[in-house]
Amino acid sequence: MANQARNAAIVGIYEWPKRLDMDVSAIQIKARSIALALEDAGLSWQDVDGVYDANDGEGGGGLGLSAYLGIHPTVIDTTQVGGSSYEFQAAHAMRDIAAGKCRVAVLSYGSKSASQRVPIGTGGPRGAGGTWQENMENPYGTTLIANYAMAARRHMHEYGTTSEQLAEISVATRHHAMRNPQAVQAMKDLQFQNIRDITVQEVMESRMVADPLHLLECCMVSDGGGAIVIASADVARGAKQKPVWLIGGGEAIKYRTNDGDITTSAAAQSAPIAFGEAQVKPAEIDIAMIYDSFTITVAVMLEDLGFCKKGEVGGYISGGGLRYDRKGAVTLNTDGGGLSSNHPGMRGMFLLLESVRQLRGQSTSQVPGAKLAVAHGNGGLLGGTHAGGTIILAAD
């Protein structure tokens, strides 16, 4: 596109390789990941003048992380919107760099959810239910997964979507995970059974966790983390790696209303903004990294991102077209996703990491000639209050 702005690019990445790591703290994962992402870019600590942090890890955030790293950024962004925080932050870094506020920004994540046995999906609501947000929901014991299950059941009721169709998402992401050695090791470390490609029937036969969602439709709980370095165009041109350009970003939130539709997510608002800024259409996208906390999360967001019309995702994902080696649908979550690779609690970081690997030609399930990717993060509760962050990325 002649008028497509390319002011900021991801020039360095690093993903923590272990999904169960008893020997490090979350802040150590963050700091080491930043160091290795800078090394990947050919940059140094002295180059960093923007810190974007979601206050994860011990002593992180705007105050703690800079002190821990011994750096003095001129831009500090502590946006925290759950799993979509890193898409929001990437959009903010893109804007800040374009405005000349900083030249080299770092985003990082570190979590010990598996080591610390954090019950992310089934642990129930946290807090005493004393705030205006909590007092009408928490006392009744709704778990996180129950919100997603309600959205899934409503989608089935409204549009005839079936569990067999949703299972195709689990099948595709497991196929990609089996080509990713880190994902395979993760499943071993987290004591998965039958670590191999799976079938729709096997997904259906796995135990029910929250009707209609089966065990193999639910993300794993892992340790993990990583870091991303985003740089201005002049810095990117001199980096070690080919730049992956950030060309569009959109942000939105959605919450319960009396006349609301829980089968439509915040992506319906954030995606048109991102695609409009990038001047591309969903049909042009080669790889879609979509937050897969549960299969229904992906299904709803495929619709809301514009890959198919609302209510038509069942037919769109049937037949295995989400796999990197098949045609018929956009290629999905080629690292294995949260279902079969990692999910330390806020997975938005990994959507950006795998998008970059694809556009560099470095994925373990590489789409030949991939030029455009979308990374869409979801934070909070689908069917309740949640945030959607959409980022469009382009190869150099």
The neighbour count for residue 2, using CB atoms within 10 Å, is 4
Q: Decide: helix, strand or coil at residue 245.
A: strand
What pLDDT sits at residue 133? 73
Our CA angle for 154, 158, 162, nearest 5°, is: 75
**pTM exceeding 0.85:** yes
C-alpha neighbours within 13 Å on the C-beta side of residue 265: 36
Of residues 368, 386, 369, the one with CA closest to residue 377 = 386
Its sign, for the CA torsion 271, 276, 280, 283, is positive
> Is there a contact between 69 and 44 (Cβ–Cβ < 8 Å)?
no
What are the strands, taking DSSP E only, across the chain? Answer: 8-15, 50-52, 75-77, 104-112, 208-210, 213-214, 223-232, 244-254, 287-290, 331-332, 372-380, 386-395
List the CATH number of the domain containing 28. Answer: 3.40.47.10
Give the per-residue pLDDT at 16: 98
pLDDT at 394: 98
The answer to whether residue 214 sits within a structural domain is no
Who contacts 98 (Cβ-Cβ below 8 Å, separation ≥6)?
Answer: 5, 7, 8
351 occurs within a structural domain? yes
Q: Residue 63 falls within a domain, yes or no?
A: yes
| Per-residue confidence (pLDDT) for residue 126, from 0 to 100 | 57
Number of domains composing the chain? 1
Q: What's the pLDDT at 369?
A: 96
**Strands across the sheet with 104-112, in order?**
75-77, 50-52, 104-112, 223-232, 8-15, 244-254, 386-395, 372-380, 287-290, 331-332
Q: The domain containing residue 263 runs over which residues?
A: 8-116+221-395
Q: Is residue 182 part of a domain?
A: no
In a domain, 38, yes or no: yes
352 part of a folded domain: yes
> What is the pLDDT, as a whole number, of residue 2?
53
The answer to whether 172 touches 290, Cβ cutoff 8 Å, is: no
What is d(CA 168, CA 150) in angstroms, rounded to the nearest whole number?
A: 19
What is the pLDDT, as a whole number, of residue 383? 86
Q: Are 385 and 255 in contact (CB under 8 A)?
A: yes
Sign of the alpha-carbon torsion through 122, 24, 339, 178:
negative
218 DSSP assignment = B
* pLDDT for position 63: 84
Which residue reads 């994540």 in tokens? 109
Q: Does residue 182 contact residue 365 with C-beta atoms inside 8 Å?
A: no
Task: Identify whether 390 is part of a domain.
Answer: yes
pLDDT for the residue 118: 86
**pLDDT averaged over 10-residue windows placed end to end, the chain, 396 residues:** 83 97 95 98 98 88 90 96 97 98 98 90 63 72 87 98 98 98 97 96 97 97 97 97 97 92 97 98 98 98 98 96 95 98 96 98 97 97 93 97
Classify each residue of 219-244 as buried b or exposed e, where b means 16 or more C-beta atoms within 10 Å of its C-beta: bbbbbbbbbbbbbbbebbeebebebb
